[in-house]
Amino acid sequence: MIRAATVYDIAEIRAMIRELAAYERAVEQARATEEQLREALFGEHPAAFALIAEDDETGEAVGFALWFPRFSTWTGTRGMHLEDLYVRPHARGGGYGKALLATLAAVCRQNGYERFEWWVLAWNEPTIDFYKSLGVDFLDEWRVCRLSGEPLRELAAQAPPSLDQTPAR
């Protein structure tokens, strides 16, 4: 069963984020707290949304997907960015990942989103093969860019005086 996450799922979502980070060999980078997730998913102006995959027999949360809307200047429409998709090892092969992606695709269609995009680690061959089986296009000509930590602070310090750049909440 796939359902929308509720505030009562926060601890389980955080646990699965840590499991995903461990699988991706980056557990030290998964620093989000339950309070941050609660605000991001269920605050006054949610920054993201989540789905939970549950085992029909036990009710156990066996996976999750966390996504947020994005905007394309080229299409003039919103799209979806899938930040995390995770199915616990013992539940893999049970159709949960596909069900989560199909539900997200339905959300895209319901909202008029033209694009549904996400990233996958280049070494994660089992997941890449799964995505290929769904007909996913891999955009090899694009590179992910990330600015964080000290380089982000240094570049921000070079910004000219301007209006308040705080996004609407």
Domain boundaries in the chain? 2-157
pLDDT band at 134 (very low <50, low <70, confident <90, very high): very high
Residue range 14-39, pLDDT digits in tens: 999 999 999 999 999 999 999 999 99
Q: Are 64 and 5 in contact (CB under 8 A)?
A: yes
- Model confidence, pTM: 0.89
The CATH architecture assigned to 2-157 reads 3-Layer(aba) Sandwich (3.40)
Instruction: Produce one character per residue of 138-149: b if its CB has 16 or more CB atoms within 10 Å, e if not.
Output: eeeeeeeeeeee
Catalytic residues: 131
How does the average pLDDT of the chain come out, rounded? Answer: 93
Residue range 46-74, pLDDT digits in tens: 999 999 999 999 999 999 999 999 999 99
pLDDT of residue 85: 97
Q: Are 68 and 50 in contact (CB under 8 A)?
A: no
